[in-house]
Structure 1
Amino acid sequence: MSISSPGIGSGIDIQSIVPSLVAAERQPTLSRLAQKEASLQAELSAVGLLKSALSEFQSKLDGLKDTTTFSNRSASASDTSIASFTASNDVAAGSYSLEITSLATAQKLVTMQDYVVSEGTLEFTDAGGSFSVPLDSSNNSTIESLRDEINNAEDNIGVTATILVVNGSKRLVFTANDTGAENELTISGTSTSGDLDIYDYNSGTAIPDVNGDVASYYDQVTAATDAVFSVDGQSMTSASNVITDVIPDTTITLKEANPGNPITLSVSTDTSEVRNQIAGMIEGYNELVSLINKQTSYNADTEVAGTLIGDSLINSIEQQIRRTLTSQISNPDSDYTSLTSIGITTNSDGTLELNNEKLDTALETDYAGVSTLFSSDPEGIALKVNIILENYLQTSGTLDSRTESINDKLAGLTEDREALDLRSKKLETRLYAQYNAMDLLVAQLNSTGQWLASALDSLPGVVFEKK
């Protein structure tokens, strides 16, 4: 006799009992795996946050471990309408007196009458070379085309041509692009047709025109002159108003003459960037400490512990950084050999606090000592802390290895769940087999009982009374 539906023989709900038994068997393991996964995910997140905070703190140390940060220079002129002054970080601090007698100018010439163009050549010369423009009836036959030809010439030595209309008369204006006496122009015209009204200009020399009349064909609006100035009483000249070779690693831009009224050019150490870098370091460290405190604390009220409480890795990181920040360097030439000495102290919660007045005093009285405290190799505090951070943050470093280990454990949980599913399937199969066998046996016993009852009922003279 076979049972086509589980439980039909015994009346037991096998279809509900077996899954319930399997689920009850799985639940402790599932709970354990879920709890383990939650713990690992929390740890993975905490390690990620720690790595991010360490990286951010490291970025805040970049300026302090770099000696060039402490080489910042601030340049200024006492009267910026007279001159502007800039300096590189390589210039020494100091001050200079500047007196400007006259500025460098660029030559400007205007033709005194209409330009009559026929055939010939117009040539421009200065100390740097020369170039010429051809003239004929088909090339540069108008004053506009001549202007464009001059300006677009590939070998132009530095002349700009424009047009000025005076009482209806078109005149050419020639302006040297560069200032200085060496850029004075010599302009000469050569006629091939005998009627080219172009005259030479060279220091005001008048040249006869084609009719033999002597005329000054150009009006010199501005002469080509050098700047005349003095620095600390030393007289100098320059073809340009931008001076880069008098005070090394500086640029002086002359703007206006001030004879008899010298101004002061100053180069000083710019401490603002260093202050910003120190403030940034403190901010980055305090953010790191706050994160560490949160991850390693225990709240007695809520009975909740931080994810990394008691973790040897995070404790080691904190101790190494704190020990380095509170250490003292060796510098017999300075009183500023620790963070405490420049006004940086540690609070009870491990964060840092800055006394601005003490830092200002340190920067003003011993700037070199403060620079050595942070960036000297290998003593500098910023350099040493950076080495610690690099050991943890580098690719395949300690934190990467920790992250990889956690991910391996998470992958192991997936394998544990797969193994649990396999065991549960086998258990379900076994239970169904056992319950089905029982169900079949009960069905057989019920069938036998019914046969016996029927057989006994059919015996002669025997009556069974049903109760």
Structure 2
Amino acid sequence: MVNSIANSLGFGSGIDIPKLVDDLSNASRQPKIARLTELTQANQTRISAVAKARADLDGFADSLSQMIGDGTLRSTPTVSDDSVLGATSRAGLSADSFAATVVVNQLARAQTNFSGVVADRTAAIGTGTMTLTVGGVAKTITIDGTNNNLDGLADAINASAAGVTASIIADEGGHRLILKGPTGEANGFTLVADAGADPGLASFATDGGMTLGQSAADAEFTIDGIAFNRATNIVDDVVPGMSLTLKKAAPGQPVDIGANRPLDMIKQTVGDFVAVYNQLKASLTAASNLPGATTSLRELERDLGGLIHQVISSHGSINQLSDIGISVTKEGLLSVDNARLDKALETDAGAVEALFNPRRDATHNETTDPGIAFALDAIRDRAVGANGAIDRVSRSLETRQRTLAEQLAKVEEREDAYRTRLEKQYGALEARLAAFKATQTYLEQQIKLWTNQGND
């Protein structure tokens, strides 16, 4: 009778209450955590795929812009005597139409003045004000008790931002103050001591105290017999697409300048463009094929695909990538017909170059001739800008990631509470079983006592 009661309660059956709680808790928790973990990992995979696609897009656009920006694809100037003249290319140089003869008659010079020797550069030179005038603009130079020496005067002139540089050089027996202005005849300068200044400051005035080293002068040169003068020896505004550096005056000595087009580099760039485009296409396809928000990236894929037939220059017949043999395969990748590219280069190499290195002048601008780099930048900027394809997908995935993290935290919280309830319930059961055991032991003792009494 007693054994039957104990067995029916499970007492003495060897039940491991902590293990039972663990098993029940894990049976409730693990499927939910596993599902959320799976969803989180899948979302992270999408985030990584989108990040790679964006990195490839940025790299594609930036590398192409850099090649154009650093002149890799530009026509290269040629100079018959680079000891007299240097030349570098800028956007807009047309190699097939430019040739000229330059004669450098005079270089641009800056005015220089130098003082007499000052034995002690830290000795007082006098206080007061001086007026420094450059190109008609006057600046006041103040010498007082805080800067009353040669170093103080030089520092005050430099701090005035007048365009005149003051320096101090060592000379036999002491130091001299050297003043140098900007190049160009209009940039000559004067430094005069104002009324009331100590007499010592007059020693550093250009109207008698300092010696003129050289006067300011403009550069004078001719291009194909046409005379020009400029305030500097770097001339950017005469030859379209070319910057000239005048190095030496050589009157009567003509220097021929022209330009060579980097045909091999253009052909290589076309091949590189196709290869990098296909790499970007692969990463975009991998991302957009994932289920969920990444399918919006197909909008970006369509934009990129449209590049091939987008008009990117104002040339009449070679104004898009398809005109030079670039086409789209059935897989959505690019390929290049080298025979057609060679034919385009043979027909009009300048027009091919302009697709990558667009001309910039009064009639060619980013609207009429965007070039492939500008067009690609526009696509990239739209994609990563507010509400663009990549921006929308990225924000959606980030929101999803936060939501999953919050759900996971709530599941953990609920499962912890469930485990606590199990521990409480089975703890109470264990306590009741212990009470039953005590009752059983008492009954067994009483029955045994009664039995022994009946046998007496």
TM-score with structure 2 setting the length: 0.58
Shift of 1:234: 3.0
Q: Does 1:452 align with 2:455?
A: no
The Cα of 1:329 is off from its aligned counterpart by: 3.0
Displacement after TM superposition at 1:284 (Å):
6.9
Per the alignment, residue 43 of structure 1 pairs with 42
State the match for 2:100 in structure 1: 96
Q: Is the contact between residue 53 and residue 280 of structure 2 (CA under 8 Å) also seen in structure 1?
A: no
Aligned to 1:22: 21
Output the amino acid matched with 1:56. Answer: A
Indicate if the aligned counterparts of 1:103 and 1:227 stay in contact, CA closer than 8 A: yes
Unpaired stretches in structure 1, ≥5 consecutive residues: 1-6, 111-126, 130-144, 186-219, 297-307, 463-467
Alpha-carbon distance in 2 for matches of 1:354, 1:384: 22
Whether 1:286 and 2:279 are equivalent positions in the alignment is: yes
Q: 1:451 to 1:321 in 2, by over 3 A?
A: same
Question: Residue 255 of structure 1 corresponds to which residue in structure 2?
Answer: 247
SS of residue matched to 1:326: helix
* Aligned ranges 1:282-431 → 2 under 5 Å: 282-283=275-276, 286=279, 289-290=282-283, 293=286, 308=290, 311-317=291-297, 319-327=298-306, 329=309, 331=311, 333-335=316-318, 337-338=320-321, 341-343=324-326, 364=349, 365-368=351-354, 375=370, 380=375, 383-384=378-379, 386-390=381-385, 391-394=388-391, 397-431=392-426
The yes-or-no answer on 1:80 pairing with 2:62 is no
Asked if structure 2 preserves the Cα contact closer than 8 Å seen for 1:108 and 1:222, the reply is yes
> Structure 2: how far apart are the matches of 1:436 and 1:162?
98
1:352, distance to aligned residue in structure 2 (A): 5.2
- Once residues 166 and 109 of structure 2 are traced to their aligned partners in structure 1, the CA distance between those partners, rounded to angstroms, is 15
Partner SS state of residue 366, structure 1: helix
1:257-272 equivalences under 5 Å are: 257-258=249-250, 261-266=253-258
Report the residue type matching 1:411 in the other structure: E
Partner of 2:195: none
How do residues 154-165 of structure 1 correspond to structure 2 at under 5 angstroms? none
Counterpart AA for 1:313: A
One-letter code of the match for 1:334? Answer: S
Kindly state the Cα deviation for residue 42 of structure 1 after the two structures are TM-superposed.
1.5
Which residue identity lines up with residue 77 of structure 2 in the other structure? S
TM-superposed deviation, 1:82? 1.6
Count of residues in correspondence between the two structures = 382
Corresponding residue SS for 2:82: coil
Letter in 2 for 1:76: P
Which residue does 1:12 correspond to in 2?
12
1:262-282 Cα shifts (integer Å, max 9, x gaps): 222236778869976984785
Question: Which residue in the other structure is 1:34 paired with?
Answer: 33
Q: 1:455 to 1:440 in 2, by over 3 A?
A: same
* SS of match in other structure, 2:454: coil
Secondary structure of the corresponding residue to residue 103 of structure 2: strand
2:400 alignment partner AA: S
Label 1:412 to 1:74 Cα distance change in 2 as closer, same or farther (>3 A).
same
CA distance 1:336–1:70, shift in 2 (3 Å)? farther
Which runs of 5 or more structure 2 residues have no equivalent in the other structure?
Answer: 1-6, 115-133, 137-148, 190-211, 359-366
**Partners of 1:64 and 1:320 in 2: CA distance:** 23
Cα distance, 1:446–1:178 mapped onto 2, change above 3 Å: closer
The answer to whether 1:433 aligns with 2:428 is yes
Question: What is the CA–CA distance in structure 1 between the aligned matches of 2:49 and 2:353, rounded to whole Å?
Answer: 34
Distance of 2:319 and 2:237 partners within structure 1:
37
Contact 1:375 1:383 in 2 (8 A): no
Give, in whole Å, the separation in 1 of the partners of 2:411 and 2:184: 86
Distance 2:48 2:256 in 1: 53
3-state SS in 1 of match to 2:45: helix
What amino acid is aligned across from residue 46 of structure 2 in structure 1? V
Superposed displacement of residue 448, structure 1: 2.0
Determine helix, strand or coil for the equivalent of 1:89: coil
- The question of whether the paired residues in 1 share the 8 Å contact of 2:53 and 2:284 is answered with no
Change (3 A) 1:369 1:456: closer
User: How far off is 1:424 after superposition?
Assistant: 2.1
What does residue range 78-227 of structure 1 map to in structure 2 within 5 Å?
78=79, 79-86=81-88, 88-89=90-91, 94-100=98-104
Distance apart, 1:403 and its partner CA: 1.7
State how far apart, in whole Å, the 2-side matches of 1:436 and 1:355 are.
Answer: 86
* CA shift in 2, pair 1:424/1:351, >3 Å: same
Structure 2 CA distance for aligned equivalents of residues 444 and 163 of structure 1 = 111
Displacement of 1:81 = 1.0
CA distance in 1, matches of 2:242, 2:425: 92
Summarize the Cα distance change of 1:274–1:355 in structure 2 as closer, same or farther, 3 Å threshold: closer
Question: What TM-score, normalized to structure 1?
Answer: 0.57
Kept in 2: contact 1:83–1:253 (CA 8 A):
yes
CA contact (8 A) 1:374 1:381 kept: no
Which residue identity does 2:390 align to in structure 1?
A: L
For 1:415 and 1:447, locate their aligned partners in 2 and report how far apart those are by CA, in whole Å.
48
CA displacement at 1:80 relative to structure 2? 1.3
Pair 1:257–1:386, CA change in 2 (3 A): closer
RMSD: 6.1
> Deviation of residue 109 (structure 1)?
12
